[in-house]
């Protein structure tokens, strides 16, 4: 018996010893990402990337991109050991690990592996875009038999106001004014008004109109939660003023003088800009264009009256290309009423006509169903459109309520006959449910689907 036990133990020991051990690859073979995260935050979670766009300006990337070297090495070693992107298993990873193999092919394969791990860092298609790094430049240099490019130089830091627009930056002479408030004496009446409200004209992707128009004359889009309400903003400013810095971004100092000179008024606008743009973390808050702070600063500089709060022009809940005529939006009495409880006919719910997760960029965006003016697919969140079952469940809930449950001000009409008007009304209802899937104005954009094309075909009698 003892002999048998010894044989078994020996066999087990032999098996364990024979099992291959996956070791990390030589870190010197893993390409350097060539850039640092957190450069020039915009206040919406975006920062400068390593690559300039067609306009000569850095392409914006998430402020957490690229990851630090240790995090990236851990991710790529995990993927190499698995032979695939662990977070996106359909994508295979090949990494020549022999330090003596310095062939062009091996170097390019390592760049490819690095790109895959980078862009699937946190999930399938969810990581950092390649433009957050110099990997493309490195690959080009390898292909052309040139030396690898030096790490990209980070652009000069943006002004302390976090917004590069100098209208809001207080002159250097303002650093000297007296500290804003003694302990417990913060005067909230001196906090500038933000001059706009949140949640105006949601697009369905979490973006809404801001207070400022862009070059095209249309409102610049901002997160629908921006700007914050007055109480939240005053609390954030009081905290930052007491600390003398943005609590969520301590390298940015805050000065809040209390007299009424032009310099002090501008300094308070700057302080407001800093608190606004670092509301939820370093460089993560609300962009200044969600407010009238720039216009207020300009008025102060020119000695003119401050602007009135910006008026928000209401827009239809859904794209006009998909909206049923006005008379249908009110569900005519002649049209069939929405199905009674438990009588919802799922076969009448329009097909969304596209699938989610096509061609992920690495930032959570994928191709949508509709091409933009450049002939390329408009980008949409990779989770859009939802699957059929999830969408039908959302529509059934909204139709039963007669409104978008997640956005009750938007009414739903879902007639069941086959007239042109009723079919368009159902397209309209589908658009409403789609764009408010997860909250008011938070869902999937209509360009993630073929609903616009379907509406056009119905209108054309096709």
Please check whether residue 95 is in contact with residue 109, taking contact to mean a CB–CB distance below 8 angstroms: yes
Give Cα separations from 389 to 288, 340, 386, 395, 404 (angstroms). Answer: 40, 20, 8, 10, 17
- pLDDT of res. 193: 95
- pLDDT of res. 175: 33
Strand 407-411 with 377-381, pairing: unpaired
Nearest CA to 225 out of 144, 297, 284 is that of 284
Domain ranges of the chain: 22-143, 170-302, 326-459
Contacts of 157 (CB under 8 A, 6+ apart): 39, 40
Contacts of 43 (CB under 8 A, 6+ apart): 162, 163, 276, 277, 278, 283, 284, 285, 286, 287, 288
- pLDDT of res. 359: 87
Q: What is the mean pLDDT of each run of 10 residues along the chain (462 residues)?
A: 49 48 84 89 76 86 88 94 91 92 92 92 86 92 82 46 33 33 68 91 78 87 88 92 90 89 92 90 86 92 76 41 34 35 80 90 82 86 89 91 86 89 90 88 88 91 84
Give Cα separations from 226 to 43, 210, 211, 287 (angstroms). Answer: 11, 8, 10, 8
CA dihedral 28, 33, 36, 38 (to 10 degrees): -140
User: Cα(453)–Cα(446) distance, rounded to whole angstroms?
Assistant: 10
User: Cα(306)–Cα(363) distance, rounded to whole angstroms?
Assistant: 39
Nearest CA to 113 out of 90, 138, 89, 95 is that of 95
User: Cα(303)–Cα(262) distance, rounded to whole angstroms?
Assistant: 8
Q: Where would I find the H helices in 28-144?
A: 69-82, 104-119, 135-143
Question: Model-level pTM greater than 0.85?
Answer: no
Nearest CA to 123 out of 382, 444, 358 is that of 382
User: Cα(203)–Cα(445) distance, rounded to whole angstroms?
Assistant: 6
Per DSSP (E only), the strands in 203-264 are: 207-213, 219-223, 245-246, 249-253
Give me 275's structure tokens. Answer: 């608190």
Phi, psi of 46 (to 5 degrees): -100, 150
First to last CA, the chain: 84
- Residue 50 class from Cβ within 10 Å (0-12 exposed, 13-18 middle, 19+ buried)? buried
Q: Residue 174: how many CB atoms within 10 A of its CB?
A: 18
SS3 state at 44: strand
């Amino acid at each position: 018996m003892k002999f048998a036990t010894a044989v078994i133990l020996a066999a087990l020991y032999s098996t364990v010893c024979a099992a291959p051990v996956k070791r990390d690859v030589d870190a010197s073979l893993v390409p350097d990402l060539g850039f640092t995260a957190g450069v020039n935050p915009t206040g919406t979670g975006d920062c400068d990337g390593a690559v300039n766009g067609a306009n000569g300006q850095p392409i914006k990337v998430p402020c957490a991109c690229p990851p630090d070297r240790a995090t990236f090495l851990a991710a790529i070693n995990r993927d190499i050991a698995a032979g695939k992107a662990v977070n996106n298993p359909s994508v295979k990873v090949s990494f020549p690990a022999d330090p003596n193999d310095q062939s062009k092919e091996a170097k390019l394969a390592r760049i490819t592996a690095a790109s895959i791990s980078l862009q699937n860092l946190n999930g399938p298609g969810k990581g950092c875009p390649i433009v957050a790094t110099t990997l493309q430049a490195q690959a080009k240099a390898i292909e052309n038999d040139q030396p690898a490019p030096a790490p990209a130089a980070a652009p000069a830091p943006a002004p302390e106001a976090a917004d590069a627009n100098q209208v809001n930056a207080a002159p250097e002479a303002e650093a000297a004014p007296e500290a804003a408030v003694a302990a417990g004496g913060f005067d909230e009446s001196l906090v500038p008004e933000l001059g706009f409200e949140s949640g105006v004209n949601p697009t369905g992707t979490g973006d809404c109109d801001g207070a400022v128009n862009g070059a095209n004359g249309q409102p610049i889009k901002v997160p629908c939660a921006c700007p914050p309400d007055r109480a939240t903003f005053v609390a954030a400013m009081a905290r930052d003023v007491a600390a003398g810095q943005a609590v969520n971004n301590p390298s940015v100092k805050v000065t809040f003088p209390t007299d009424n000179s032009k310099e002090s008024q501008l300094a308070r606008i700057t302080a407001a800009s800093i608190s606004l743009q670092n509301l939820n973390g370093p460089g993560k808050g609300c962009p200044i264009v969600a407010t009238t702070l720039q216009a207020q600063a300009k008025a102060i500089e020119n000695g003119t009256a401050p602007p009135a709060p910006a008026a928000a022009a209401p827009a239809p809940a859904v794209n006009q290309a998909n909206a049923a005529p006005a008379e249908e939006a009110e569900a005519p009495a002649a049209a069939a009423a929405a199905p009674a409880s438990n009588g919802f006919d799922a076969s009448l719910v329009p097909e969304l006509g596209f699938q989610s997760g096509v061609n992920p960029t690495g930032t959570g965006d994928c191709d949508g169903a509709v091409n933009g003016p450049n002939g390329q697919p408009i980008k949409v969140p990779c989770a859009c459109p939802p699957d059929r079952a999830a969408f039908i469940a959302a529509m059934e809930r909204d139709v039963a309520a007669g409104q978008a449950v997640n956005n009750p001000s938007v009414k739903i009409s879902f007639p069941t006959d086959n007239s042109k008007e009723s079919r368009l009304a159902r397209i309209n209802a589908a658009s409403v449910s789609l764009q408010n899937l997860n909250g008011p104005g938070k869902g999937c954009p209509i360009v993630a689907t073929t609903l616009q094309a379907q509406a056009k075909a119905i209108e054309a009698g096709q």
